[in-house]
Structure 1
Amino acid sequence: MPAVSIVIPVYNGEKTIEATIASVLAQSFEDFELLIINDGSNDSTLEIVNSIADARLQVLSYPNVGLAASRNRGIRAAVGEFISFIDADDLWTPDKLLTQVEALRQNPQAALVYSWTDCVNDRGRVERRGSYITAEGNVYAQLLLGNFLDSGSNALVRREVFETTGGFDESLKAAEDWDMFLRLARSCEFVCVSKVQVLYRLSNQSMSANLDRQEQESLKVLQRAYAACPNLSVSVRHQSLGSFYRYLSFKALEGTPDRKNGFAALRYLGRSVRHHPSQIRPVRLFLSQLAQARHAILRRQHYQPDSNISG
């Protein structure tokens, strides 16, 4: 029986799945099974995966159901003592599994270990750092202020805890990883490996639609978290909402800049300050980013060819 079960859910991931699998197979810790949950891909994903020869790799194909349900299929198929997930476009450093497994074995009271993250572009170049937050023990209050694990491609979790907390919420269209981490944090301790071991790939696709969905689904997650801990003070709730909207305001300025995302960023910043006035402190950084986005928009408009001019 392998020590670790690694789950990669994938839907039409032909552009990135090979690099993601390569980063897993390059792990210095080798006692694992790799479960590829093919979520009804209709591109060349399956052909790429099937061309990789490694006895630890298994491909499980199903009709398309979405990310959360695919992760749950991986949990049900897993046999390892620990489970880790990585999305089909993200990457791990070669020492990620080794140091995380060691951390959980050295901290039997903890159910989850995570590492720091850097965010990379489609060429693998680092665009910005992740949260770089080291939180250990009871992290519930701090996790309410934001998902400092940064993505679902980070944590290593004891498989047994899913028997009590359940799987990922398949009704959520976003923030299902944050929801899972919060549910785990209510009854489990966390431990951190304070070094960058996860490379999260940024995507510019459907930024506005994704932000709207992220807002709606994350608010559901927060409301559930508040309901689960009725003793939380009103100030903590407002602080968590302020932090969340600050995150969205900066998220809106990622990727290709346009006016719509600029206005969205301002709207989110206003909501952040309304919930927690101390969020006004990062406004200078926000305005700097907004000015850079405005400059990029103007440059793009200046160099836009005139479609009325014929050659």
Structure 2
Amino acid sequence: MLREVSVVVPTHNRPELMKLAVESVLAQKTSVGGEVIIVFDACPIEVPELEIPEGWIVRGIANSRSRGLAGARNSGIDAAEGRLVAFLDDDDEWLSGKLDAQLRRFEEKPEAIVVGTAMIIDDGESTHVRLVPDEELSHEAFLRNRNPGLHSSSLMFRRELLLGELGLIDEDLPRSYGEDYDILLRASSLGLVSVVNEPLVRVLWKGQSYYFGQWASYAEALQYLLRKHPDFASIPAALGRIEAQVAFALAASGDARGARAWARKALRHNPKQVKAMLAVAISWKLVTPQTITKIVQKLGRGI
């Protein structure tokens, strides 16, 4: 069998979760061969014992680039041998049929830059299905909405594009926040982003994310994305959406004055931006960011 797919699994000191993630790839019923590349980021290379199906290999490498998620993904891309490259975070799992569904979509849509799937969010107490509004997403669609039904663990790319016109994951993004959104914005500006609109990835949300509660870094990364993608400004509502997220993150980090300034910008561009209003409420200590975050997570949503 040909090695068709390389699955890049960045990990940092979460061996039990990482093993479950890798096993979910190896459990895919598919006729193609592939490889799982576990990228150990600032931790020892310790590949778990696994039952590996015929035609597949599992190997562990060190993150040889910048520390963090973006550098780890890129180390995996550098080492990949498959025609297609997929990502899987070490606390997520692929569900049955995910790999074959994406391979079929690439055959049906040879012009696709990237193929993703919808997902299931698991907060440890309940699950929520997140679908995507459309199976074909334009660049404007991503400017207007992050389309949160798409997750980094659902994405599959043509390796030649990652090494060429599309480019690698942006390692300059502060703490790698929004690296998946950034590459989707870049991909959609080049061509088609196609989605298998079925929940074929399980994403674990229990507060152990690398990013949980890092509000100041989140605000910094969002401002970086606004500078990098000036086309947000072509759609006032889209610009206001990101500005409102910056405002909320600054308010949650304790920067009340900055939060109110960004909230004013957001509301000028989009007077219906609820996150901007919430940022103002947090800045005046009328509500806590923890309370709001708990509520939206119970609904299977994010800030």
Q: Does TM-score exceed 0.5, indicating one fold?
A: yes
| Structure 1 residue 204: Cα displacement | 2.2
How has the CA–CA distance of structure 1 residues 103 and 282 changed in structure 2, closer, same or farther, with 3 Å as cutoff?
A: farther
One of 215, 218, 221 as aligned partner of 1:217: 221
Residue type of the partner of 1:240? A
1:152 is matched by which residue type in structure 2? S
Aligned-residue offset at 1:250: 8.7
Give distance in 1, aligned partners of 2:122 and 2:245.
18
Q: Does 1:187 align with 2:190?
A: yes
- Structure of larger gyration radius: 1
Which stretch of structure 1 is more off in the superposition, 240-249 or 96-105? 240-249
Please state how far the C-alpha of 1:190 moved relative to its aligned partner.
Answer: 1.2
CA distance in 2: counterparts of 1:225 and 1:182, whole angstroms: 8
Q: Residue in 1 aligned with 2:86? A: 84
**Which residue matches 1:279?**
273
User: Number of residue pairs matched?
Assistant: 272
**What residue is the counterpart of 2:152 in the other structure?**
152
Q: Which residue is equivalent to 1:165?
A: 166
Partner of 1:57: 58
Whether 1:99 aligns to 2:97 is no
Query: 1:35–1:74: 8 Å Cα contact kept in structure 2?
Result: yes
* CA deviation map 1:53-75 (0-9, x unaligned): 42521111346721111111111
**Paired amino acid for 2:68:** G
State the one-letter code of the partner of 1:4: V
1:147 Cα deviation from its structure 2 partner: 2.5
Provide structure 1 residue ranges, at least 5 long, that are not aligned to the other structure. 253-258, 298-311
**2:194 is aligned with what amino acid?**
V
CA distance in 2, matches of 1:191, 1:20: 24
Offset at residue 281 of structure 1 (A): 11
Q: Distance in 1 between matches of 2:142 and 2:167?
A: 19
Residues 14/74 of structure 1: CA separation in 2 closer, same or farther (3 Å cut): same
Aligned pair in 2 of structure 1 residues 249, 91: CA closer, same or farther (>3 Å)? farther
SS in 1 for 2:171: coil
**What is the one-letter code of the residue matched to 1:214?**
Y
CA offsets, 1:213-235, max 9 Å, x none? Answer: 12211221122111xx4xx7x46
Q: CA offsets per residue over residues 120-168 of structure 1, 9 Å max, x none? A: 12x4841x4435322515x111111232254311111111111122211
Deviation at 1:36, TM superposition (A): 0.8
Does the CA-based 8 Å contact 1:17-1:88 persist in structure 2?
Answer: yes
**Residue aligned with 1:113, SS:** strand
Whether the aligned pair in 2 keeps the contact of 1:7 and 1:84 (CA below 8 Å) is yes
Per the TM alignment, residue 280 of structure 1 is displaced from its structure 2 partner at its CA by 4.8
Q: Which of 225, 235, 240 matches 1:242?
A: 240
Alpha-carbon distance change, 219 to 283 in structure 1, aligned in 2, over 3 angstroms: closer
